[in-house]
Amino acid sequence: MKLQQLTLNPEGEATLLFTSDGFQESEANLVLAFGERTFLESSQPYSFLKKRYPNSAIVICSTSGQIANSGLVENSLVVTGLSFEKTAIKTTQADIQLNSDIQSLGNTIKSELFSDDLKSILVISEGSFVNGTELITELNRQTNNSIPIFGGLAGDEYHFEKTIVGLNADATQGKIVAIGFYGEHIHFGFASEGGWSDFGPEREVTQSDKNVLYKIGDRFALDLYKEYLGKYAHELPGSSLYFPLSMKENSHSKPVVRTILSIDEKNKSMTFAGNIPVGSKVRLMKGNFDKLVDASYQAAYEIKEQQQQNPQLALLVSCVGRKIVLGNRTEEEIEAVKEVFGPNLLVCGFYSYGEISPSLNNVACELHNQTMTITTLYES
């Protein structure tokens, strides 16, 4: 596998950050391009990318911040080209605005991508309309929980207005892109860590509808949440990124983090980036700078301990909530990952509205919020 990475600024000027020896732009198989939604809409970068990488599948995704080998990048497109020597890829896409049936979407991805030598699937999904939990549940069902799936939901800086994704075209609303990787020569490592701390008692969800939470115990969810937020309550929904929820579906489940997307003052409900089923147990969480950075280090360390060969590329998908909390210390969680793997690893990725990753001991993927998820790749 050979790699290239560059940035493209609003004036259309490209700056090369990295190129593997022997990398040929005409031989690139896959290009991942991450940029802010407003940048993508104004610059329409697909024609530039198609001209530079004429034979590649090109994926464009809006973000809440781009991750490059040089660190956090804003106000520029980060482009990473991959040229596989022994690995085949296939791509497909669906439009959730044209067809909101998640099962139909899952059928499409399975029929287009599934075969005996499918090794893994990268999903880059719009983040405005899709119910991330339903998407992941359907993909796990279609693949019989046997194919690791990774990726994330597109972001929109801190605007939360709309997200856009494109496959072999400029990015638009509603698109969900899936890329299959095939053969025995491609190898992946997966890890996801949060670093948030629980506080307050554990409480049971008593009324919800998919990803809309109405009641916790005998209290309206929004009333209870505001009580705990105190002075931050008047800044909702933005301030909720500082205080996500930890959720366990049952007593045997591993906790997952759920981010609040919006609130409904009339119904006193909260809408999350993933489902909150009735009967599940929830606790509030809060962030600590050092613990968040340490979690990124730990996720990288988990992969390094399990892999026999040093990876060539790491795709980092981290949550917009982490970026808001870390502020000017955001670069530290990227540096923590690079510290573990050393200088020979190329890093790319983005800040998202939801992260998709298998857990360490489970092939089936999960939807994560407020985590740093890492996927490493190398060809043998």
User: Per-residue pLDDT tens for 16-42?
Assistant: 999 999 999 999 999 999 999 999 999
**224 phi and psi angles, rounded to 5 deg:** -65, -40
Task: List, in order, residues 6 or more apart from 277 with CB less than 8 Å away.
Answer: 205, 208, 249
Q: Which two structure tokens, joined as six digits, stand for 101?
A: 């049936």
Residue 373 bridge partners (DSSP): 192, 317
The closest of 370, 337, 348, 10 to 196, measured between CA atoms, is 370
What is residue 361's predicted lDDT score, i.e. its pLDDT? 57
Provide the mean pLDDT of the chain.
92
| Residue 182 · residue 62 · CB < 8 Å | no
- Alpha carbons within 13 A on the beta-carbon side of 107: 6
**Kind plus residue range of the DSSP H or E element containing 293:** helix 289-306
The one-digit pLDDT tens for each residue of the chain (380 residues) are 999 999 999 999 999 999 999 999 999 999 999 999 999 999 999 999 999 999 999 999 999 999 999 999 999 999 999 999 999 999 999 999 998 888 998 899 999 999 999 999 999 999 988 888 888 889 889 888 889 999 999 999 988 889 999 999 999 999 999 999 999 999 999 999 989 888 889 999 999 999 999 999 999 999 999 998 888 888 887 787 788 889 999 888 888 888 887 889 999 999 887 889 999 999 988 888 899 999 999 999 999 998 878 999 999 999 988 998 899 999 999 999 999 999 999 999 999 998 999 865 556 667 777 899 999 999 99
By CB neighbour count within 10 A (0-12 exposed, 13-18 middle, 19+ buried), where does 162 fall? Answer: middle
Q: pTM for this structure?
A: 0.90
Per-residue DSSP letters for 177-195?
EEEEEESSSEEEEEEEE--
